[in-house]
A and B are shown apart, each in its own frame.
Chain A
Amino acid sequence: MADFQEIVEHIIGHLRKVVPPGTEIAAESRIVGDLGLDSLVVMNFVMALEDDFDVSLTMDSLAKVETVGDLARTLEALTKR
């Protein structure tokens, strides 16, 4: 569907709605560590991404996600199935 960079941009678009204005977000940004999001906010934004890409992320795969890039790679792999 989309390539890695497009997915990263898409994720960043979602994240902008939940982080303070002006926060720098890149593929290397750690979603919890750098952006300070709590688990509930993360869950909601992941569910929105799942809708956008029409995929379901397993809890196991999410547990391995640390950065925006990790999440993009996980989504990319699922959309290419």
Chain B
Amino acid sequence: MSILDKFAPLGQSYAQLRELGADPFAVTFDSMRSPVEATIDGRPVLVFGSNNYLGLTFDPRMVESGIEALRTYGAGTTGSRIANGTYLGHTSLEHKLAEFFGRRSAMVFTTGYQANLAMISTLAGRDDVLLLDADSHASIYDGSRLSAAQVIRFRHNDPDDLARRLRRLEGQPGDRLIVVEGIYSMLGDRARMAEIAQVKRETGATLLVDEAHSLGVLGANGRGAAEEAGVEDDADFVVGTFSKSLGGIGGFCVSNLPDFDILRVCCRPYMFTASLPPSVVATVQRGLERMVEQPELRQTLHRNAHRLYDGLSAAGFILGPEPGPIVSVRLPDVAVAATFWTALLQEGVYVNLALPPATPDSHPLLRTSVTAAHTDAQVDRAIATLTKIGAALGVLETNNG
């Protein structure tokens, strides 16, 4: 008997997956030769599963900024933001983020996960109600579990269901905090921001938008789904991450609320963890500048996204609802998905394997993501490789369309 016995069923599922040749949770990249080229077990692979949407991880100016900060400030801060872990870089990055979003205030967190954990658990207090999209990321669900508020889920991306649930709360005291994501991480679909913002306005609720996958991707300036929909004023809090478009790690929240800074002394996931290393902060700040300086990266990303989506769709794959940086292929069952994923890797294409219950329905997904750094030839090779394996496994719809 062991305290780990309760994980035996999970262990069996994992063992079954490995028997199919797939161990998607233990992939090790030996080297990265570019934002989209790596080696795994000594073999070259094209990376089509990274979230590195703008392909900035090897931007020379970002790398140099990081090296300079590493030399100037050392390897780490060895402290939390409220103790000895706030350096000039952290406050400077917060100012730049606030400026970029046109907001009064910004807070930087050590990861994007912690940003959601911190904001959601702190904003929603005992008498409040959290309204979460049913397909929310784990960080949102975990933040809600850490909160003392009542938690209600609404149907994925369904403003009418959200409105109904808010109506049912009429007369009940407390604040209502709606949490949505700009782009949902599994199927890559965009939030119906305009309608959600309208529900928020009509009901007097507070709105938090997680732009993790939409920062640098959506909106004329890359500020995300709220910018694209023209409803930034309705997004009381915008949360995001540095580990996708900005090519680093860390999280943030920006807001116009005048008393925002009080959160610095009550957000536990902000207060009780070490702050980001100065080198990461410097890299991310340079990444933010590079993103603003190069709006063409966003256009290239969208062109690549359409190329991949259209190519896979034409081949007969069942995909998520719309083209975007995340293009997910729906597969019938875990065995097929694991076999497919393993074959892809053998053919030199890495994608993410997403399994239920992390997927929106009971189907597994091959979750591919494109970047601005992919060439047309690389996208075409990914399409051809997926199509070849898909045909061999019999998962292409022959009567597509």
User: Is the pairing of A and B real?
Assistant: yes
**Chain A residues engaging chain B, CB cutoff 8 angstroms:** 38-41, 43, 47, 51, 54-60
Instruction: Name A's interface SS.
Output: helix
**Chain B residues engaging chain A, CB cutoff 8 angstroms:** 134, 144, 150-153, 155, 161, 164-165, 168-169, 356-357, 361-362
Q: Is the CB of B362 within 8 A of A40?
A: yes
Q: Is the CB of B356 within 8 A of A38?
A: yes
In the bound complex, residues from chain B placing their C-beta under 8 Å from that of A55 are 168
With A38-B356, A38-B362, A59-B144 already in contact, the answer to whether A43 and B150 are too (CB < 8 A) is no
Q: How far is the CA of A38 from the CA of B161 in the complex (A)?
A: 23
Q: Is the CB of A40 within 8 A of B356?
A: yes
Q: Which 7 A-B pairs have the closest CB atoms?
A: A59-B151, A58-B150, A56-B152, A56-B165, A56-B168, A39-B357, A40-B362
In the bound complex, residues from chain B placing their C-beta under 8 Å from that of A38 are 356-357, 362
Cβ-neighbour of B361 out of A40, A54, A58, A60 (below 8 A): A40
Q: How far is the CA of A64 from the CA of B149 in the complex (A)?
A: 16
In the bound complex, residues from chain A placing their C-beta under 8 Å from that of B151 are 58-60
Q: How far is the CA of A5 from the CA of B164 in the complex (A)?
A: 26
26 contacts between A and B (CB under 8 A): A39-B357, A40-B356, A40-B357, A40-B361, A41-B362, A43-B134, A43-B153, A47-B134, A47-B153, A47-B155, A47-B161, A51-B164, A54-B164, A54-B168, A55-B168, A56-B152, A56-B168, A56-B169, A58-B150, A58-B151, A58-B152, A59-B144, A59-B151, A59-B152, A59-B153, A60-B151
- B165 to chain A: closest residue by CB: A56
- B362 to chain A: closest residue by CB: A40
In the bound complex, residues from chain A placing their C-beta under 8 Å from that of B361 are 40
In the bound complex, residues from chain B placing their C-beta under 8 Å from that of A57 are 152
Q: Shortest beta-carbon distance, B76 to chain A, in Å?
A: 37
Q: Shortest beta-carbon distance, A64 to chain B, in Å?
A: 13
Which of B134, B153, B155, B165 has the most chain A CB within a 10 Å cutoff? B153
Q: How far is the CA of A61 from the CA of B361 in the complex (A)?
A: 23
Q: Shortest beta-carbon distance, A17 to chain B, in Å?
A: 15
In the bound complex, residues from chain A placing their C-beta under 8 Å from that of B165 are 56
Q: How far is the CA of A75 from the CA of B313 in the complex (A)?
A: 43
Which of B134, B152, B356, B362 has the most chain A CB within a 10 Å cutoff? B152
Q: How far is the CA of A56 from the CA of B152 in the complex (A)?
A: 7
Q: How far is the CA of A54 from the CA of B163 in the complex (A)?
A: 12
In the bound complex, residues from chain B placing their C-beta under 8 Å from that of A40 are 356-357, 361-362
- A54 to chain B: closest residue by CB: B168
In the bound complex, residues from chain B placing their C-beta under 8 Å from that of A51 are 164
In the bound complex, residues from chain A placing their C-beta under 8 Å from that of B155 are 47
- A61 to chain B: closest residue by CB: B150
In the bound complex, residues from chain B placing their C-beta under 8 Å from that of A58 are 150-152
In the bound complex, residues from chain A placing their C-beta under 8 Å from that of B357 are 38-40
Q: How far is the CA of A59 from the CA of B130 in the complex (A)?
A: 10
In the bound complex, residues from chain A placing their C-beta under 8 Å from that of B134 are 43, 47
Q: How far is the CA of A40 from the CA of B358 in the complex (A)?
A: 10
Q: How far is the CA of A60 from the CA of B144 in the complex (A)?
A: 10
Q: Shortest beta-carbon distance, A81 to chain B, in Å?
A: 10
- B363 to chain A: closest residue by CB: A40
Q: Shortest beta-carbon distance, A59 to chain B, in Å?
A: 4
